[in-house]
Amino acid sequence: MDRVSLSVRRGEFFSLLGPSGCGKTTTLRLIAGFATPDSGELRINGTRANEVPPQRRDVNLVFQNYALFPHLTVERNVAFGLEIAGVRPADIAVRVRDALDMVQLNAVAARRPNQLSGGQQQRVALARALVTRPAVLLLDEPLGALDLKLRKDMQLELRALQKKLGLTFIHVTHDQEEALTLSDRLAVMHRGRVAQQGTPAELYERPATRFVADFLGESNFLEGEVVSAGAAGARARLDGLGAEVELAADGLRAGQRVTFALRPERVQLRTGGGGVPGWPATVEDVAYGGRDTRYRVAFLPGKSLLVRAPNAPRAQVGERVAVGWEPADLRLVSGD
Amino acid sequence: MGRLKFLPAAAALAFLWAPIAVLAAYSFTASRHATVWGGFSLAWYARVFENPALGPALGNTLAVGLASATLATALGTALALSLERRRAPALDALAHLPLLVPEIVMAVGLLVLFARFLRPALAPLGLEFSSLPAVVAGHVAFQIPYVMVVVRARLKDLDPSLEEAALDLGATPAQAFLRVTLPFLAPAVLAGACLSLSLSLDDFYVTYFCTAGGSGFRTLPLHIYAMQGRAGMTPEVNALATLMLGASMGLVGVSVWLQRKSHA
């Protein structure tokens, strides 16, 4: 990991999103105290925490595999942190019951972890980490092992819980949809660095890098070259199209290569043969996707374009169509 | 053909168990000779319990067994933990090798170590390295690798995130070990202790060589050896050996049961 700079606000649901090996779990382990940064500083509640051992950090981690203690009952698992902290037994009983109520698991309090379903184990892990009321709850792919339907339900539950408790959640996932749905803000990580951070809408609508545009949702990429740059702004010409695009970005110079991201749902597809405005293209593939239809159209030589368009009217494979877009839908992204 | 393929296995088992069966059967003979069947009798078992020399021998055997098994279990567990957590193939080999060393070699080695170095070194300090601690030390030495092997088998199943979870919830490393790691290892640790105890109870070589000359220190195996040498073998030896066999098998049984249970 290199030069990762993040700041998470109190009470926020923050996600670290990225492919496996991007450094997101390492970041979480740095915060939990199971790894030490070679350089730089980690602050929790405004105080430097680099040298604080895990047991004295006011953060709790929900492990990817839950890490429930197999020899203890659900109740004793949840009580663990409170027992260590020396809370009075009578108070422990009340707080454990409340925590199990919160995740609707009081019925299985006397069972061992191996007698529970995956979803139940996940909730025990959540209750165990929350019962000591940490300042920050860290979640390492907490829903990764659950099947799709259960995962959707747990996403909503997790979000509701976080809002209700007002705690800071830092959540690691490789599921972009999960990150977009759950987070107040998120950071996309790539090769040990933060590629971009912001709200889900900011990242989706205005991806800064080619990687972010590709990883969060889908994108088409169009290449071009800066033809003029000056105080008034810059213009770029798209390869193979000859069309020029106005650029708001600074720091560009003439002759520089640029890349634009274009969301498939922003591409307009027009059927009806010759005379329709737009760039000519041929439909190569059509896939009905429920909410909309996905097309792959041959566009420029050797280049196809992904399009998501309303289900009707439907174009057929081999049909000549026209594609177009609003200039504002082309997002200038950096190369990696 | 179907039944024939069990023949080699049956022959091997018969060969394995024949001496034990004969030994046990003749412990119930009424005859004065260990090799003559003179009708069923429990007289020799009664003799075992009446024999005044057996009391101290049994006491020594149990003292050596309990002390050595306890020490070896602690050390073997510590060795298992430290070896499992680092990649050290050379140390690994060193820890396993004693399992292959012939016991007589180990025994002679201990004799030389104790008689030639340890006793002379302690003597000027006014300290005597008597038979009991010497035999205990010898037994600990050969039991450690067995405990280590049993505990490591369990340790491989320990999810490292369990200890991290304990730390994360505020436990110190010591608390995490006592509350999470040790309970997880407990069945294997107990199994290792049972195995150690059973190895100790019937050990002859190491005990024989570690005993300080002329001290008269005897455990049950040494006593049996002396009995058959002195008066020819009476079925009392059979009875005693059968009792010891029962105790050893019981301990090994408990050890296996604990290990199975922990893997379930």
How far is B171 from chain A, CA to nearest CA, in Å?
6
Whole-number Cα distances in Å, A143 to A161, B154, B165, B252: 15, 29, 18, 44
The reply to whether residue A84 touches residue B175, judged by beta carbons under 8 angstroms, is yes
**Pair A166, A288 in one domain:** no
Contact B161 A129 (CB under 8 A): no
Interface subset of B 106-165, CB within 8 angstroms of A: 159, 161-162, 164-165
Each residue's pLDDT tens digit, B5-18: 888 888 999 998 89
CB contact under 8 A, B168 and A70: no
Higher pLDDT, B127 or A182: A182
> Is the pLDDT confidence value at B1 over 60?
no
pLDDT of residue B35: 77
Tell whether B105 lies on the interface with A, counting CB pairs under 8 A. Answer: no
Q: Is residue A4 part of a domain?
A: no
Partner A contacted by B178 (CB < 8 A): no
Determine whether the interchain pair A80/B184 forms a contact, defined as Cβ–Cβ distance below 8 Å: no
In a domain, A194, yes or no: yes
Query: Is residue A121, in this structure, part of any structural domain at all?
Result: yes
Residue of B nearest to A65 (CA): B161
Give residue A266's pLDDT.
92
Nearest chain A Cα distance for residue B184, angstroms: 7
Q: Extract the tokens encoding B144.
A: 């450690």
Q: Which of A193, A213, A233 is the last residue in one of the domains?
A: A213
* Chain B interface test: which of A34, A59, A64, A69 (most B C-beta within 10 Å): A69
- Within this chain, do residues A135 and A193 fall inside the same structural domain, yes or no? yes
Spell out which residues of chain A touch residue B170, defining contact as CB-CB under 8 Å.
Answer: 55-56, 81, 84-85, 132
Handedness of CA A166, A172, A175, A180 (dihedral sign): positive
pLDDT at B52: 85
Q: A191 with A240, same domain? A: no
Q: Looking at residue A207, what is its pLDDT? A: 93
| pLDDT of A275 | 63
Are residue A45 and residue A188 in the same domain, yes or no?
Answer: yes
Which chain A residues touch B168 with a CB distance below 8 Å?
Answer: 32-33, 54-55, 59-61, 129
Is A43 part of any domain? Answer: yes
Tell if the CB–CB gap between B166 and A60 is shorter than 8 Å: no
Q: What is the DSSP letter of A334?
A: B
Contact A81 B172 (CB under 8 A): no
**Residues linked to residue A229 through DSSP beta bridges, in sequence order:** A234
pLDDT at residue A22, as a whole number: 87
Residues A6-23 have a mean pLDDT of 90
Does A6 map to a domain? no
The pLDDT of residue A308 is above 90: yes
Write out the two tokens for B246. 């029962």
**Same domain as A270, residue A201:** no
Q: Do A324 and A175 share a structural domain?
A: no
The pLDDT-based confidence of B229 (bands split at 50, 70, 90) is low
Domain termination site, one of A176, A195, A213: A213
The residue ranking higher by pLDDT, B212 or A310, is A310
Over residues A140-155, the pLDDT tens digits come to: 988 887 888 888 888 8
State the sign of the Cα–Cα–Cα–Cα dihedral B174, B178, B179, B182: positive
- CB of B42 within 8 Å of a chain A CB? The answer is no
Residues contacting residue B87 through CB under 8 Å, at least 6 positions apart: none
Is residue A71 located within the same domain as residue A199? yes
Distance from CA of B262 to the nearest CA of A (A): 11
Tell me which chain B residue has its CA closest to the CA of residue A55.
B170
A105-109, A256-260, B46-50: least confidently modelled range? B46-50
CATH number at residue A189: 3.40.50.300
Give a yes or no: residue A155 inside a domain: yes
Please indicate, yes or no, whether residues A29 and A135 belong to a single structural domain of this protein. yes
Amino acid type, A288? Y
Q: What is the pLDDT of residues B167-226, one digit of tens each?
A: 999 999 999 999 999 999 999 999 999 999 989 988 999 999 988 666 788 898 888 888
pLDDT above 90 covers what percent of chain B? 38
Q: A38 with A86, same domain?
A: yes
pLDDT of residue A289: 84
CA triple A315-A317-A319, angle to 5 deg: 65
Rounded CA separation A31/A18 (Å): 17
Phi, psi at A237, each rounded to 5°: -110, 130
Closest by Cβ to A84, choosing from B159, B164, B170:
B170
Of A33, A56, A67, the CB nearest to B165: A67
Which one of B159, B169, B263 would you mutate to disrupt binding with A, by most A Cβ within 10 Å of its Cβ? B169
Asked if A81's CB is within 8 angstroms of B165's CB, the reply is no
Interchain contact, B170 vs A55, CB within 8 Å? yes
pLDDT(A55) > 70? yes
Residues of B with CB below 8 A from A32's CB? Answer: 164, 168
Q: Which domain holds residue A129?
A: 13-213
Residue A1 lies in a domain: no
CATH number, domain with residue A266: 2.40.50.140
Work out how many domains chain A is built from and give that number: 2
Assigned domain for A7 exists:
no
Nearest to A259 by CA among A230, A203, A220: A220
Q: Which residue has the tokens 């007589």?
A: B104
Residue carrying structure tokens 């280590």 = B148
Domain boundary among A213, A236, A251: A213
Q: What ipTM describes this predicted complex?
A: 0.81
- Local confidence band at B231 (pLDDT 50, 70, 90 cut-offs): low
Contact B172 A55 (CB under 8 A): yes
- Does A109 lie in the same domain as A132? yes
Residue % of chain B over a pLDDT of 70: 95
The structural domains of chain B, ordered by start, are: 52-263 (1.10.3720.10)
**A259 and A304 fall within a common domain:** yes
Identify whether residues A29 and A126 lie together within a single domain: yes
Query: What's the whole-number average pLDDT of chain A?
Result: 89
**Average pLDDT taken over every residue of chain B:** 88
